[in-house]
Chains A and B, each alone.
Chain A
């Protein structure tokens, strides 16, 4: 057997990733990206004549944990119908043994791309929309567990979609036996993939709550609240989450307080629901007091003045005019 050139090796590597769609109703169009558990491909549904996204595991295997996870994601998405969640059309196993899931192909921008041109109020409103499908899922007992900017897409019509529910779990349940897998954050390159291996924790570092990072037996929806706070931090600072910079004067204190409360190390100290967090954001946008931020008298006055600036100015002008009339009116 002759040796293989580097180019041929690279081509064979790429060929090996191509899913075998024989026996399915799909025609492969092109590679899209790495997904949570494998790769995502653009395909054509030959029956309905529409483009779809196929999420395909890289590997097959007996009683495969990733197979179970992919199927779980498909079932969760199928049971949760919400405008903010990508509809799933189909799931199964390919001829080469790899599990796949067929869902709506979303054309649009990632969160990072979209917020580049947004002002602060628009970013905050966007976060409210990100929280909607989360709140919906939480109300039905599901936790996402891998919320991060890469998993938020803004579609062509401005719809906000929370993607990649591959690590989602049902309610406040314990991690199943053997489910101690690490997911390390990956470079968002074409060939990057979140890897799971025994002995680690599910989620993505940086956006993962402390209890999830520790591999705690019980995680609940508040782990998603932590991630939502991390996303808000990202949207406010433009950089990966961590502590907000000490001298980040560009981030208003009430918003910083919202982030800190959402990302509190103790789940009991966080917002207990996505709705609670977005309520504070709405209050901030409306110039109302934010529950996470106890303001002083001066700050409160300033906020009231800012909110009712025009009315205050008008009344001040009126009273000033009145005083002037009193002082100079008889001259």
Chain B
């Protein structure tokens, strides 16, 4: 599995989990489908970006930092749209980015070397 696909898959799974936890908030239950879909898409976007970064840059530290940054940024955008719950949204979002950043650096197949 290549790094981009790994990032996509991991981002999707963690994003879906993120969305599903909204079920425990009674006010959000009615819109759970939309939340899950939106969260999953957020995860996929983050995963792809982080996966692409991992293909280009082979550094565990930088991968983690980049993932954390992407996760926080996308989570911030969602929190802005929610007009609140910054901590509850950005912390998990940052963690997802961090995990995907670590995983894409540590696992997944990198690009093939160009033959000269």
Contact = CB atoms under 8 A, between A and B. Distances in A.
Are these two chains actual partners, yes or no?
yes
Contact of B21 (A311, A314, A322, A330): A322
Contact of A322 (B92, B98, B103): B92
Contacts, number: 35
A120 to B, nearest CB: 23
A325 interface: yes
A317 B95 CA distance: 9
B17 interface: yes
A293 interface: no
A321 B25 CA distance: 16
B92 A330 contact: no
B65 to A, nearest CB: 14
B42 to A, nearest CB: 15
Interface residues of B, number: 17
A287 B14 CA distance: 26
Contacts of B24: 326, 329
Nearest to A317: B95
B88 A318 contact: no
Contacts of A319: 17
- Secondary structure type dominating chain B contacts: helix
B92 A325 contact: yes
Nearest to B95: A318
A315 interface: yes
Contacts of A310: 102, 106
A311 B14 CA distance: 13
B21 A318 contact: no
B12 interface: no
A318 B103 contact: no
A330 B22 CA distance: 12
Contact of A325 (B88, B98, B103, B106): B88
A325 B21 contact: yes
B106 A318 contact: no
Nearest to A315: B99
Contact of A311 (B17, B96, B103): B103
Contacts of B99: 311, 314-315, 318
Interface of B: 14, 17-18, 21, 24-25, 88, 91-92, 95-96, 98-99, 102-103, 106-107
